[in-house]
Amino acid sequence: MAPDAAPLIGVLAIQGDFEAHGRVLRRLGANVREVRVPADLEDVAGLVIPGGESTTIMLGIERERLAGPLRAVVRSGLPVLGSCAGLILLDRAHLGLMDMTAERNAFGRQIRSFEADIELAGLPGGPLHAIFIRAPWIAAHGPDRRDPRGSFDGHPVVRSPGTDARRCLSQRAER
């Protein structure tokens, strides 16, 4: 990928495993900026909200006055990937950007962490290898019948209410 073709992806870097996301994104050819203050959101083409301690990350978001700017860029259509605590932070009780309620630590505490292959509707190539670490599940969500797009042990673990994400998944499924 030519350097000037690489998109700039923001990775929320308050706490958690933001470095791991950055490594993957760089390996795939993206430019990565760690987001800690509102100015870091300028010109990013996408945003990753990583796993970690959701309470700690939310406190950091409030401390840095990031909640308003985060809501604004997401509502403007910025592609967002939330993982683990990132899913929690997107729910009704936190940033309020997704019509769902996450149940924290729903699959158990740290010692109950596990790996599993998840069928993600629209993702070709077979199940996605996933790691659940004090993982939440989606306890309640809005009326969209096309979501959730993945579940484990009967519990929803994937949600993509935005039309852009859904279209991208659908396009991949058609290839």
Partner 1 sequence: MLAVAFHSELSGDDRLHILFLEWVQDVLGRSVRG
- Site for partner 1, rule CB under 8 A: 1-2, 5-7, 9, 17, 20-21, 23-25, 27-30, 45-46, 48, 50-51, 74, 77-84, 86-87, 90, 97-98, 100, 102, 106-107, 115-116, 118, 120, 123, 125, 128-133, 135-138, 150, 152, 157-162, 164-165, 167-169, 172
Look at residues 128, 118, 126, 122 and name the one whose alpha carbon lies nearest to residue 171.
Answer: 122
Q: Give least dist CB 60 to partner 1, A.
A: 19
Cβ of residue 64: shortest distance to partner 1, in angstroms? 21
Among all chains, which residue has been given the structure tokens 């791991």?
A: 20
Q: Closest distance between partner 1 and the C-beta of residue 38, in Å?
A: 19
Q: 55 or 83, CB closer to partner 1?
A: 83
Q: Rank residues 2 and 63 by Cβ distance to partner 1 and give the closer one.
A: 2
- Of the pair 129, 145, the CB lying nearest partner 1 is at 129
- Name the minimum Å distance from CB 62 to partner 1: 20
Could you tell me how far CA 57 lies from the centroid of its own chain? Answer: 13
**3-class DSSP assignment, residue 70:** helix
Calpha distance 156→173 (Å, rounded): 20
Instruction: Compute the distance between CA of residue 136 and CA of residue 83 in angstroms, rounded to an integer.
Output: 10
Cα separation, 19 vs 129, whole angstroms: 19
Q: 3-state class of 66 per DSSP?
A: coil
Question: At its nearest, how many Å lie between partner 1 and the CB of residue 43?
Answer: 12
Identity of the residue, 6 or 67, whose beta carbon is nearer to partner 1 in the bound complex:
6
Q: How far apart are CA 55 and CA 127, in angstroms?
A: 30
